């Protein structure tokens, strides 16, 4: 029953999968997210599934969408960014069959979601989950989309935002429990004790909660302490992504010659753009301690097989 709960939760209340749906997930079956997208949820609903054995590329994905006509698209933010960039570059991009776009795996930056909706007329329903949780536990829905937010708790789950002392707070670490959560890691008692507490999964994601909506501030270990104040990389990245020339970006900490930590932004540009233009944008919209001291153009960002940005590699580059 716990393995099937994603179909009762997200499948029923967010994606609303039915027997007439055709599901296409850019995340593959050997990932927890892809397994639920392409097997558990559609199987429970009697829906059809489109499986592509090849590695994701935006051009190939657009061809699959055009040929197979999915009604529900599951993907991750970096793949949505690649699909959008390909469409903006002239690749045929027909979303006329798609009624729902789902995103998880990492936070969806508000500018990316807004650009996608302007172009295709479809909101991306961003949510948060993990392998330990079993699937997505907090999500936006068709009738309640807040850009920059992970949305609200899905029925069947509970969520807390917890401060370092273990008390409920407006900002802190996200804890989740519900119908699909795991009970621990096999053969790893110390890791289990750290991540599973009285039925709650301690996600390691830093969140702010307001009016019942949950806002992702990044991983606890990705947060930056600059000038004795906290900086959320996601906040800085969202500002940079609002610039028309920035296709992708990632923010990490970098020490200066005196050993003091500052904000370093790696950006993938669509066209040549002077750093001063991005610096001016950040100066307009960010407090001084949040503004990047270094803006480094790169050809691409390092990513995992699921499309998540490998920030540890960028931190290594920043230290070099």
Q: What is the pLDDT of residues 173-232, one digit of tens each?
A: 999 999 999 999 999 999 999 999 999 999 999 999 999 999 998 888 888 988 878 899
Residues 6 or more apart from 247 whose CB is under 8 A from it? 81, 85, 268, 269, 270
- For residue range 295-309, list pLDDT tens digits in order: 999 999 998 877 788
| Among 15-24, 155-164, 176-185, 298-307, the least confident range | 298-307
pLDDT at 249: 94
250 forms bridges with which residues in the sheet? Answer: 266
Spatial distance between the Cα atoms of 135 and 184, rounded to a whole number of angstroms? 15
| pLDDT surpasses 80 at 163 | yes
pLDDT at 142: 95
The DSSP annotation for 219-285 comes to EGGG-EEETTEEE-HHHHHHHHHTSTTEEEEEEEEEE-TTS-EEEEEEEEESS---HHHHHHHHHHH
Q: Which CATH number fits domain 5-143: 3.30.300.130, 3.90.1170.50, 3.30.360.10, 3.40.50.980?
A: 3.40.50.980
pLDDT at 100: 98
| pLDDT surpasses 80 at 320 | no
- For residue range 109-121, list pLDDT tens digits in order: 898 999 999 999 9
Domain ranges for the chain, please list them: 5-143, 157-218, 223-319
pLDDT at 268: 95
Global pTM value: 0.84
Band the pLDDT of 105: cuts 50, 70, 90: confident
pLDDT at 227: 81
CATH of domain 223-319: 3.30.300.30
Residue range 275-302: mean pLDDT, rounded: 94
pLDDT at 43: 95
pLDDT at 307: 79
**Ramachandran angles phi, psi of 12, nearest 5°:** -85, -45
How many other β-carbons are positioned within 10 Å of the β-carbon of residue 259? 6
**What's the topology of domain 157-218?**
Luciferase; domain 3 (2.30.38)
Residue range 104-129: mean pLDDT, rounded: 93
Give Cα 131 to chain centroid, integer Å. 14
Residue range 15-43: mean pLDDT, rounded: 95
Band the pLDDT of 286: cuts 50, 70, 90: very high
pLDDT at 118: 95
Helix, strand, or coil (residue 208): strand
Average per-residue pLDDT in the chain?
93
Q: How far is CA 63 from CA 79, 83, 165, 277, in A?
A: 15, 11, 51, 36
pLDDT at 23: 98
Tell me if 275 sits within 8 A of 302, measured CB to CB.
no
Residue range 260-279: mean pLDDT, rounded: 93
């Amino acid at each position: 029953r716990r393995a099937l709960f994603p179909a009762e939760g997200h499948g029923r209340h967010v994606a609303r999968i039915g027997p007439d749906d055709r599901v296409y997930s850019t995340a593959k079956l050997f990932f927890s997210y892809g397994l639920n997208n392409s097997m558990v949820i559609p199987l429970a609903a009697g829906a059809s599934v489109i499986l592509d054995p090849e590695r994701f590329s935006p051009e190939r994905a657009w061809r699959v969408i055009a040929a197979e006509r999915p009604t529900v698209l599951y993907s991750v933010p970096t793949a949505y960014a690649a699909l959008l960039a390909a469409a903006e570059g002239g690749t045929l991009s027909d979303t006329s069959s798609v009624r729902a776009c789902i995103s998880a795996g990492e936070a969806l930056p508000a500018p990316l979601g807004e650009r996608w909706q302007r172009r295709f007329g479809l909101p991306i329903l961003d949510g948060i989950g993990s392998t330990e949780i079993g699937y997505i536990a907090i999500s936006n829905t068709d009738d309640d989309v807040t850009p920059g937010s992970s949305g609200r708790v899905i029925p069947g789950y509970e969520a807390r935002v917890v401060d370092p002392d273990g008390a409920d707070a407006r900002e802190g670490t996200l804890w989740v429990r519900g119908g699909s959560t795991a009970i621990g890691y096999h053969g790893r008692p110390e890791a289990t004790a750290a991540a599973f507490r009285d039925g709650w999964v301690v996600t390691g994601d830093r969140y702010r909660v307001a009016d019942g909506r949950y806002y992702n501030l990044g991983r606890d270990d990705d947060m930056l302490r600059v000038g004795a104040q906290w900086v959320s990389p996601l906040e800085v990245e969202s500002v940079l992504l609002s610039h028309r020339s920035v296709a992708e970006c990632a923010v990490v900490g970098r020490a200066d010659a005196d050993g003091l930590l500052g904000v370093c932004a790696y950006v993938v540009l669509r066209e040549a753009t002077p750093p001063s233009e991005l610096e001016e944008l950040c100066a307009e919209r960010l407090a001084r301690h949040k503004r990047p001291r270094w803006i480094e153009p790169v050809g691409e960002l390092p990513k995992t097989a699921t499309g998540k940005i490998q920030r540890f590699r960028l931190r290594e580059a920043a230290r070099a």
